[in-house]
Structures are given as structure tokens and as C-alpha cells.
Copies of this chain bind each other. A is one copy, B any other.
Amino acid sequence: MAAHDQSNGDSKLANGETTYFATNPRPASLDEHISSLTPFIADHVRKHNRVALVTSGGTTVPLENQTVRFIDNFSAGTRGATSAEYFLENGYAVIFLHRQFSLLPYSRHFSHSTNCFLDYMTTSSTGEVVIDDEYQAQMASVLQKYERAKREKMLLLLPFTSVNEYLWHLREIAMLMRPLGADGLFYLAAAVSDFFIPANRMVEHKIQSSEDFAHANHGSSLGIGEERAPAAHMDGAKLVIDLDPVPKFLKQLVDVWSPKSMIVSFKLETDPSILAEKSRYALKKYSHDLVIGNMLNTRKYEVLFVSAAGGDQWIRVPSSRRSKSVTAATMGEVRQSTEMPLEIESLIVPEVARLHSEIISNGRSR
């Protein structure tokens, strides 16, 4: 369907892309990341492995070039980091494109908890720093899986911070993954901003509160001489920010950058009355393979799969196996109970892999 659809919407998107990458700076980290990606992907092409790009965490939208303030999207990275582990268990190699300092596969079991890192440790009788007995069993099991993924070169961790870094990486990685053909999978769990400040509307210096300082916001700070009006300005004592829409890159990904891969996007909402409709709307608009809809409050135990092949399908953790918190869920791994908590990603990922197998065998329905 996408190939036939040369409406105004599409040509606007294509123009948007051209303008975007011509006017927003290529991130400094990209070349170094390409030099890790190239052999990683080549290795898995040779081995005929499936490769999942898992994106994770929120993107920042800096308000100043010398960034003091930014807009962010809520995401600890739990969905992405947890899913990455299950993709590895399902035989996928994983490129984990994540917000810097968000949760990582495996280490997530011990970070971002109320415990400080050092609370897991103690000094042994021989004076060595060791993991406390209470955590030994769980940590040994997690460490083993992590070391195996590293040893077998199945996991590549790449950090980003801003939405601009994210978009440049997504485009580059998609093009590098083309040799994988249908074995490539995009699992776009990152919480990507819908709005941003283009480089030519960004002020250089920290925006000054006018209450605080009479000489605030002299010419250079407010970007006078820039091509377009700055995106942030003071209106009396108020700070007013106006943000441009981020071009719809999912369309480019599906149609141009990586037409043969399986592509899965996420839709996060807070209002339950619009979740299904918005998920279906996204699938129709972008003609990709699967939208996983989820609600902010229930995302840890239910999600809605919307696909052209399978229609709408809720995936839910049975209520007896829902955990109160992530910590409780991960500690559950070593608990020998018939009712041990289940992570919803352990249900999501095999179902995605099954749909991926169908696409590989039968070709896609889009």
C-alpha cells in the first residue's frame, strides 16, 4: 500500500526529511558508532542471524545550544531493556539504541532501584569486595547471561541523548541493516518526542528569568540575527516555548530506509478512550507491521497488538502473576513460587518473533 500512496502527505514527508538532515547537525558520536555497527551487522548477516534494533528510553529536546534546560519524554527504559533480554533468549542479535544512563539489559535488575549500587556488596573474610549472599544467586544468573551475550557478540549497546541524535542514528542504522533483508527487525520502544526545536531556532545561552536580572537576555542570548524567530522567549515574567513538529520518520523508515525489515512501533497514551483508535490510525498511516499500544498506568501488565495480519489482540499478564514493582518482578526470578511474577515482555517478544517468522516465510501483508 505504501508504494502506491504518493499523496501530498508523503511528498511533504520526503521534503521534511531532506530539510531535516540538511539543517540539523550530524551528531559527533555517529562515526564511532558506525565503526561498531558495520562489523556487528556483517557478522550476523554471515551467520544468518536475525537482528533486532531495540530503541529505548526518552529523547531530549534541548532549549539552548549550551544546554541547561531541555524537554524530555518519561521513560526509564524498562520496556526496551527487558525486551532486549527476551530477544536475546529468542536467538536474536540485539542493537540496543538507548538513552544514555537509562536502564540496560541485565544490569537493569540491579540499577534504578531504591538500593544504592554499594548496598549489594560486602567485604569477604579475606578482605575482597564480594556480592552479598542475599543477592548471589540472582546476580550469578544475570551475570552469566550478560557475559554470554558479550562473548558471543550478540549485543551492541549504543547511547543517544537528544531527539536529533536519535533520528540520525535511526536513519543510519536502518541503511546499515539493509543487507539483513527480512531478518531485520525494528522494535521502536523509545519514547521519541513529537516536537523539537530546529537548530536555526535555538538560542545559544541559558534563557534568563526576567525577574531575576534586569540585564537578562541581551541580543546574543536571544539569537538575534538567527534565520528564524527563537523558539523560547520571555513574555513578562513568563517563559514561552513554541516547538515544531518532528517530521514523521516512521514513513521514511518503512518506505525508503528499510522496506524489507519487520517494523514494530509503540503508542503510549494516558486516555484509555483513544488508545485502540490511535494505534489503528498509526498502522494505517505508516503501513508497517505492528503497533503495540499501551497505557501509562497499565503498561507493565497489558498491551494491545494491532497488525494488518492479526487485527487487534490484547496481551495480558494474568492478575495472579502481576508484580507490584519492577524490583519485585526481577527478584521473582530466583523465587521458587508457582505464582512468581511474570514480565509482560516475556509474552510480547515471542509473539513478535512469531509474527516475524510469518513475514520471513510468507512475505508481508502490507
**Chain A residues with a Cβ under 8 A of chain B:** 60, 63-64, 66-74, 76, 101, 104, 106-107, 110-112, 116-118, 121, 123-124, 127-131, 136, 139-140, 142-144, 146-147, 157, 191, 193-195, 204-206, 209, 211-213, 215, 220-221, 235, 237-245, 248, 268-271, 274, 277-278, 281-282, 296-297
Chain B residues contacting A63 (CB-CB under 8 Å) are 71
Asked whether, in the complex, the Cβ of B118 is within 8 Å of the Cβ of A106, the reply is: yes
Asked whether, in the complex, the Cβ of B131 is within 8 Å of the Cβ of A209, the reply is: no
Asked whether, in the complex, the Cβ of B157 is within 8 Å of the Cβ of A116, the reply is: yes
19 A-B pairs besides A195-B238, A240-B242 with CB distance below 8 A are A70-B71, A106-B116, A107-B118, A110-B117, A117-B117, A118-B147, A127-B140, A128-B140, A129-B139, A129-B140, A129-B143, A205-B271, A212-B278, A213-B281, A215-B277, A235-B242, A238-B245, A239-B245, A240-B240
Q: Which residue of B lies closest to A142 (CB)?
A: B118
Partner pick for A245 among B107, B118, B209, CB 8 A cutoff: B209
Chain B residues contacting A209 (CB-CB under 8 Å) are 194-195, 245
Partner pick for A191 among B68, B72, B139, CB 8 A cutoff: B68
Partner pick for A238 among B111, B235, B243, B274, CB 8 A cutoff: B243
Interface of A is mostly: mixed
Counting every copy of the chain, the complex holds 2
Chain B residues contacting A121 (CB-CB under 8 Å) are 131, 139, 143
A261 to chain B, nearest CB (A): 23
Asked whether, in the complex, the Cβ of B66 is within 8 Å of the Cβ of A297, the reply is: yes
Bound-complex Cα distance A104 to B113 (A) = 12
Chain B residues contacting A220 (CB-CB under 8 Å) are 271
Asked whether, in the complex, the Cβ of A69 is within 8 Å of the Cβ of B69, the reply is: no
Asked whether, in the complex, the Cβ of A238 is within 8 Å of the Cβ of B248, the reply is: no
Bound-complex Cα distance A104 to B60 (A) = 23
Chain B residues contacting A106 (CB-CB under 8 Å) are 116, 118
**Which 8 A-B residue pairings sit nearest by Cβ, starting from the closest?**
A66-B270, A107-B117, A194-B209, A129-B131, A205-B271, A237-B245, A239-B243, A195-B239
Chain B residues contacting A66 (CB-CB under 8 Å) are 270, 296-297
A216 to chain B, nearest CB (A): 8
Known A66-B270, A143-B123, A238-B243: A128·B129 in contact at CB below 8 Å: no
Partner pick for A73 among B68, B194, B245, B271, CB 8 A cutoff: B68
Bound-complex Cα distance A67 to B244 (A) = 20
Q: Which residue of B lies closest to A141 (CB)?
A: B129
Chain B residues contacting A268 (CB-CB under 8 Å) are 68, 206
A16 to chain B, nearest CB (A): 10
Chain B residues contacting A64 (CB-CB under 8 Å) are 270
A84 to chain B, nearest CB (A): 12
Bound-complex Cα distance A244 to B236 (A) = 10
Known A205-B270, A206-B270: A101·B112 in contact at CB below 8 Å: yes
